[in-house]
Amino acid sequence: MDLSQITDAEVWVAKIKTSLDEGNPKQKIMEWLVQKENYSEVHAKELLVAGAEALSEYRRKELKDRLECARKELKNNDDGIDAALVKALEDRIREMLAPEDLESFNRDLAAKGRRLTYHEIALIGAIHRRSIRENKGASPFTRIQKLAARSGLTDLPLDNRQIRYALAILEALGFTKQYGSATRGTVKDGKYQKGQCGRWDWNGD
C-alpha cells in the first residue's frame, strides 16, 4: 500500500495501531480521521487498513516471542539436563573407567539388548543426580527414561537394563549409593499397597 501521498501517514498508522490494540472500533477511528483530522474517506480507509496490518504484524511477533520464551523456560525447567554437566561427568567417568572394564559390562548387556557408551552413563548419571535431589532420594527408571528422551542428548531410548547397569557402574565408581532397596507392590488384607522406589545418595558433586 502506497501511503506516500498522505500527510503524516507513518505517525497516524502508529496511532491507529495503538487505538485498535486498545479496543477502539474501526468505525469510530474512521469518523475521527474524516471529521476531526479532515482526511478524505479514501485516505482514512487506507490509513485504517495500514494500522490494522501493523497491529496484526505486531501481535504475530509478540506471540512468536512469547512462544519462544515459553519453549526455553520449559526446556530449562522441565528437562533441566545441562549438556555441559553431562560432558564434565563423562570426562570424569572416562578417567576412572577403563575401556576394557566398560566392555566387560557391555558383553553382558549385548546378550539381551543394547550396549552402553560413556556418554549414556554420564547422561543417566546427570538425570539420576537431579532425580535424587528433587524426589527425596528416589530415582525411578521411568523418570530417567523420560528425561533422557526429552533432553535431546541421546538418539535412542534407554531401556531398564542399560539404566540398571549404568547405576551399578556409577555406584562402583563412588558417584552414587543406594541405601534402600525398591519393593514391589503387594496385596495385604485385601488392599493393594504400592511398592516403593529405592533411595539413593549422590556423592559426585
- Residues 86 and 148 grouped into a single domain: yes
- Residues 195 and 97 grouped into a single domain: yes
Give the domain range for residue 34: 9-78
Q: How far apart are CA 156 and CA 145, in angstroms?
A: 10
43 has a pLDDT exceeding 80 = yes
- Residues 109 and 37 grouped into a single domain: no
Q: Using CA atoms in the order 72, 78, 81, 82, what is the torsion angle rounded to 10 degrees? A: 30
- Residues 58 and 86 grouped into a single domain: no
Task: Please list, residue by residue across 91-126, b when 16 or more beta carbons sit within 10 angstroms of its beta carbon and e when fewer do.
Answer: ebbeeebeeeebeebbeebeeeeeebebbbbbbbbb
- Residues 17 and 31 grouped into a single domain: yes
Within a domain: 3: no
Average pLDDT over residues 10-33: 90
Q: How are beta strands 186-188 and 191-193 bridged, if at all?
A: antiparallel
Query: Which of 45, 78, 111 is the C-terminal boundary of a domain?
Result: 78
Query: Which of 78, 96, 129 is the C-terminal boundary of a domain?
Result: 78
- Residue 1 is placed in which grid cell? 500500500
Q: Range with the lowest mean pLDDT among 43-47, 53-57, 78-82, 107-111? A: 78-82
- Residues 85 and 163 grouped into a single domain: yes
pLDDT tens for 156-176 read 889 999 999 999 999 999 999
Residue 60 · residue 67 · CB < 8 Å: no
pTM over 0.75: no
- Residues 172 and 160 grouped into a single domain: yes
Within a domain: 97: yes
Q: Pick 76 or 92 by higher pLDDT.
A: 92
Indicate the number of domains in the chain.
2
Q: Pick 103 or 79 by higher pLDDT.
A: 103
- 37-46, 105-114, 178-187: which is most confident: 37-46
Q: Pick 79 or 96 by higher pLDDT.
A: 96
pLDDT tens for 93-147 read 999 999 999 999 999 888 777 899 999 999 999 999 988 888 777 788 888 998 8
Placement of cell 557391555 in the chain: 106
- Residues 187 and 106 grouped into a single domain: yes
